[in-house]
Amino acid sequence: MRPVPQTPYLTIDLGRVRTNFHTLRAALPDARIRYAVKANPAEPILRLLADEGAAFDVASIGEIDACASAGIEGHLLTFGNTIRKASELAQACARGVRRFTFDTEHAVTSIAEQACGSSVECRIAPAFPSSVTPFGHKFGCAPAEAAGLLTRARQLGLRPQGVCFHVGSQQLDPAAWELGIRCAAPVFDALGDLTTINVGGGFPIAYATGAPELGRVADSIRSALTHHFGANPPQLVVEPGRVIVGSAGTIGCEVVSVRTGTDGRRWVYLDIGRYGGLAETENEYIRYRLRTGRDGDPAEDAAIAGPTCDGDDVLYRRYPLPVTLRPGDRVEIDEAGAYTASYASVAFNGFPPLPTYFVNSAHTGGGPGREIVEPLAPGITRNWSLSEVICEAHTEFQDLVIGRTDQGVALFSDGERQSTAFSQLIYHEALLVPALLLADRIERVLVIGSGEGVISQLAVSAGAAHVDHVDIDREAVRLCAEYLPYGYTMDELRRAEKGLGPITVHYCDGWGFVDRSTASYDIVVIDPPDERREPAQHNRLYGAGFLERCRNIAGVVVAQAGCPTLWRNTSLQWSWQRFHETFQTVVYFGSDEHEWAFLSGLPAAVQDPIAAMSARLPTLTHRPRTIDAESLVASTVPPKSLRAHRLVPARQPPPAR
């Protein structure tokens, strides 16, 4: 066991940091998160958040350097502090920072001189309700001035990106964010081409006095965006600090002395005070929750002070503490992960800065692990051990879990594994490559299902100029982009949702999309979850009626068709029948490195499709990493049980509930 360190010290639970980040992302799934480095710039925190896909809001060259030490590149940083020297702008630009915040014409001119061509956001300062630690009038311009400043920025060669504001640190009124969005909307109307609204931070945590739930703040932001911007709001950006790291930190300290003061009151002195990391107790703005080993004893109010010789080093004038508290007793200060270590003085009165220790509850037995039991066939299951549940959601169409396994990060739908980082490329190439080899050309591709986005990416890699990706479950697709290390990134998905690039995402029913389609495609890919014996919404995508509709608009139709193993090959037998009833040419492909089989169908008869596929393989623009000439031929031989399967009228999938 690690020895208990000498007090005072701060312990940060990185598992809790990760959980807090995921909670915020789930509350505002459309938001781009820029972590406010000032809250806690510790390198393990920065590395963790970078791995989770965060960007970063920095306030100084020192914070830029801290990010660089953590391996974070300059293009992920926004220099949000509007008070900067010209030399600091130049240094930031030299380090790769290309986004800056401003609130005066002088600042615009300085950015243009030192970092020409950079993106900029104009910070406005509406009359926000007072927060626990307000900014007052230190930052921001009047909202009415913002349009003129942004226009001036464009004239100077900068790229106006949007409007930003900050409602004040530890803001307890959710309506404050609505006010900021309301005041920003006219600026967007005036310029016409702004893309980003940055609602800053200020998200509160409870401490000892309580705070509104994060969901209430998120609801206020979402409803305000809808009210003031309609169905097409700008890209939302948030810059949280406290809500990410605050509850992840606990300060361990000790009672140094207890006495009756000259005022007749009890004074309790700790070995940490305002200069050692508790600066936010100034004016008792932040009222931390204190715990002791004597909390069951009778309690009375006491004055709590720090150890320095400064008369202002007093934390609270009245705070209930056990009357039995004695020198040497341990005290734990909860929710102290934000603005403590970063506020601690270097050596006031000779006291050392507050040291920080890191634990990770997700990897020390306290984290949210899980075992998922996946049914394979009657009497057969497969157990998946998840060391961490990264994301869990109950969407309108499925129960979705994303977790860490020994096979890498894995995606589960309704208890069935859909993909893993270890084997996903094998699966996706086995699904798409045969169709690529059978198609006369590869220009237009329709993908139905396959929410991870890998198939769409592979199609573009193979030369497709236009890919329509249809998925009914918007929430699941976005969660995959947020949490899976493969497939769409969030930036790629946002562009695809807007049709900016070769991929366009449509959130709708695949059957309805195909039925309404007047366009033709070189390839149609059907990749829903496995067909089920019981009614399920996606079952009809396996039916002959849907295959016929796809055949009418496609040169090649390829589908995930089931598993070839004897104990669970019923779906494959059904698919085999339907494909042969619908297409003149049917090609089987069962990867020898995966458990799924795929069927490709062509409306016309092809003399020797395997020979044609083999001839085209060396010329394919996308170079498969998991399929070569030998495995291509071997994988196109259907199992004997399937070849011997008698074709009878195909069983139609049960209807959706």
Q: Which CATH number covers residue 608?
A: 3.40.50.150
In this structure, the answer to whether residues 434 and 511 fall within a common structural domain is yes
Q: How confident is the model at residue 5 (pLDDT cuts 50, 70, 90)?
A: low
**CATH number of the domain within which 282 lies:** 2.40.37.10
Say which range, 124-128, 399-403, 431-435, has the weakest mean pLDDT: 399-403
Cα maximum dimension of the chain:
103
Q: How confident is the model at residue 366 (pLDDT cuts 50, 70, 90)?
A: very low
pLDDT for residue 183 is more than 90: yes
For the four alpha carbons of 285, 246, 69 and 122, in that order, the dihedral sign comes to negative
pLDDT for residue 1 is more than 90: no
pLDDT of amino acid 363: 39
Give catalytic residue positions: 309
Say which range, 145-154, 176-185, 209-218, 639-648, has the weakest mean pLDDT: 639-648
- From the list 348, 245, 284, the residue with the least C-alpha distance to 10 is 245
- What amino acid occupies position 198? N
Do the domain assignments include residue 9? Answer: no
pLDDT for residue 482 is more than 90: no
In this structure, the answer to whether residues 354 and 470 fall within a common structural domain is no
pLDDT for residue 620 is more than 50: yes
- From the list 113, 188, 190, the residue with the least C-alpha distance to 157 is 113
Q: DSSP E strands: which ranges in 456-517?
A: 466-470, 503-506
Residue at a domain's end among 420, 440, 458: 420
In this structure, the answer to whether residues 170 and 307 fall within a common structural domain is no
In this structure, the answer to whether residues 601 and 632 fall within a common structural domain is yes
- From the list 617, 639, 585, the residue with the least C-alpha distance to 434 is 617
Non-local CB neighbours of 45 within 8 Å, separated by 6+ positions: 12, 14, 17, 245
Q: How confident is the model at residue 370 (pLDDT cuts 50, 70, 90)?
A: confident
- From the list 575, 577, 583, 595, the residue with the least C-alpha distance to 554 is 583
Enter the tokens of residue 66: 């801290």
**CATH number of the domain within which 386 lies:** 2.30.140.10
Say which range, 5-14, 172-181, 190-199, has the weakest mean pLDDT: 5-14
pLDDT in tens, 510-530: 989 999 999 999 999 998 776
In this structure, the answer to whether residues 340 and 374 fall within a common structural domain is no
> In the 8-state DSSP scheme, what is residue 438?
H
For the four alpha carbons of 437, 544, 423 and 16, in that order, the dihedral sign comes to positive
CA atoms within 13 A on the CB side of 234: 23
Torsion of CA 613, 617, 618, 622, to 10 degrees: 150
Enter the tokens of residue 429: 């190439």
pLDDT for residue 365 is more than 50: no
Residue 567's Cβ-count burial label (10 Å; 0-12, 13-18, 19+) is: exposed
Q: C-alpha distances in angstroms, 580 versus 47, 552, 590? A: 53, 15, 17
pLDDT for residue 539 is more than 90: no
DSSP β-bridge partners for residue 258: 268
In this structure, the answer to whether residues 190 and 89 fall within a common structural domain is yes
pLDDT of amino acid 528: 79
In this structure, the answer to whether residues 447 and 412 fall within a common structural domain is no
pLDDT in tens, 95-122: 999 999 999 999 999 999 999 999 999 9
**CATH number of the domain within which 232 lies:** 3.20.20.10
| CA separation for the pair 593, 640 (Å, rounded) | 18
Enter the tokens of residue 237: 């950006």
pLDDT for residue 543 is more than 80: no
Domain count, the chain: 4
The helix, strand and coil proportions of the chain, stated in percent and rounded to the nearest 5, come to 35, 25, 40
Do the domain assignments include residue 542? Answer: yes
Do the domain assignments include residue 22? Answer: yes
Q: What angle do CA 118, 123, 125 make, to 5 degrees?
A: 175
Q: How confident is the model at residue 361 (pLDDT cuts 50, 70, 90)?
A: low
- Tokens 């403590």 map to which residue? 340
| CA separation for the pair 577, 588 (Å, rounded) | 12
CA atoms within 13 A on the CB side of 211: 25
pLDDT of amino acid 398: 80
Residue 133 neighbours by CB distance under 10 Å: 17
| CA separation for the pair 441, 527 (Å, rounded) | 21
Enter the tokens of residue 369: 């692990």
| CA separation for the pair 78, 383 (Å, rounded) | 44
Q: How confident is the model at residue 645 (pLDDT cuts 50, 70, 90)?
A: low
Angle between the 424-438 and 454-461 helix axes, to the nearest 10 degrees? Answer: 40
- 174-202: average pLDDT: 96
Do the domain assignments include residue 3? Answer: no
- From the list 53, 127, 5, the residue with the least C-alpha distance to 482 is 53
pLDDT in tens, 439-462: 999 999 999 999 999 999 999 999
Residue 2's Cβ-count burial label (10 Å; 0-12, 13-18, 19+) is: exposed
pLDDT of amino acid 344: 83
* Full strand arrangement of the beta sheet holding 554-562: 503-506, 466-470, 444-449, 521-527, 554-562, 597-602, 585-590
- 374-395: average pLDDT: 81
pLDDT in tens, 17-64: 999 999 999 999 999 999 999 999 999 999 999 999 999 999 999 999
Do the domain assignments include residue 340? Answer: yes
CB distance 245 to 337 below 8 Å: yes
Counting residues of the chain whose pLDDT is more than 90, the rounded percentage is 70
In this structure, the answer to whether residues 446 and 498 fall within a common structural domain is yes
pLDDT for residue 85 is more than 60: yes
pLDDT for residue 428 is more than 50: yes
pLDDT of amino acid 537: 56
Q: C-alpha distances in angstroms, 480 versus 353, 454, 510, 526? A: 41, 11, 19, 18
- From the list 342, 249, 251, 335, the residue with the least C-alpha distance to 37 is 342
pLDDT of amino acid 548: 92
* Upstream peptide bond of 618 is cis (omega within 30 degrees of 0): no
Q: How confident is the model at residue 276 (pLDDT cuts 50, 70, 90)?
A: very high
Residue at a domain's end among 210, 245, 280: 245
pLDDT of amino acid 657: 36
Enter the tokens of residue 136: 């007052």
Residue at a domain's end among 359, 379, 399: 359
In this structure, the answer to whether residues 218 and 141 fall within a common structural domain is yes
- 303-323: average pLDDT: 95
- From the list 96, 54, 101, the residue with the least C-alpha distance to 73 is 96
pLDDT for residue 192 is more than 80: yes
Enter the tokens of residue 554: 């496609």
Q: C-alpha distances in angstroms, 553 versus 50, 164, 243, 453? A: 43, 47, 50, 22
Do the domain assignments include residue 370? Answer: yes
pLDDT in tens, 117-172: 999 999 999 999 988 878 878 899 999 999 999 999 999 999 999 999 999 999 99
| CA separation for the pair 197, 185 (Å, rounded) | 9
- 315-328: average pLDDT: 96
Do the domain assignments include residue 125? Answer: yes
| CA separation for the pair 226, 528 (Å, rounded) | 32
Q: C-alpha distances in angstroms, 141 versus 111, 127, 441, 517, 561? A: 17, 11, 56, 50, 60
- From the list 248, 225, 430, 438, the residue with the least C-alpha distance to 339 is 248
In this structure, the answer to whether residues 236 and 265 fall within a common structural domain is no
| CA separation for the pair 595, 419 (Å, rounded) | 12
Q: Using DSSP, state whether 274 is helix, strand or coil.
A: helix
- Tokens 């734990």 map to which residue? 332
Q: What is the mean pLDDT of the chain?
A: 90
pLDDT of amino acid 270: 97
The length of the chain, given as a count of residues: 657
pLDDT of amino acid 541: 73
Which residue range is the domain that position 398 belongs to? 363-420
Do the domain assignments include residue 2? Answer: no
pLDDT for residue 619 is more than 50: yes
pLDDT of amino acid 532: 58
pLDDT for residue 531 is more than 70: no
Q: DSSP E strands: which ranges in 570-635?
A: 585-590, 597-602
| CA separation for the pair 344, 229 (Å, rounded) | 42
Q: Using DSSP, state whether 412 is helix, strand or coil.
A: strand
- From the list 445, 454, 425, the residue with the least C-alpha distance to 558 is 445
Element (H, E) at 255: strand 249-260
pLDDT in tens, 334-353: 999 999 998 887 778 888 88
CA atoms within 13 A on the CB side of 596: 25
pLDDT for residue 434 is more than 90: yes
In this structure, the answer to whether residues 474 and 405 fall within a common structural domain is no
In this structure, the answer to whether residues 525 and 629 fall within a common structural domain is yes
- 480-509: average pLDDT: 92
pLDDT for residue 304 is more than 90: yes
| CA separation for the pair 491, 471 (Å, rounded) | 18
pLDDT of amino acid 436: 97
Could you tell me which residue, 176 or 374, shows the higher pLDDT?
176
CA atoms within 13 A on the CB side of 503: 25
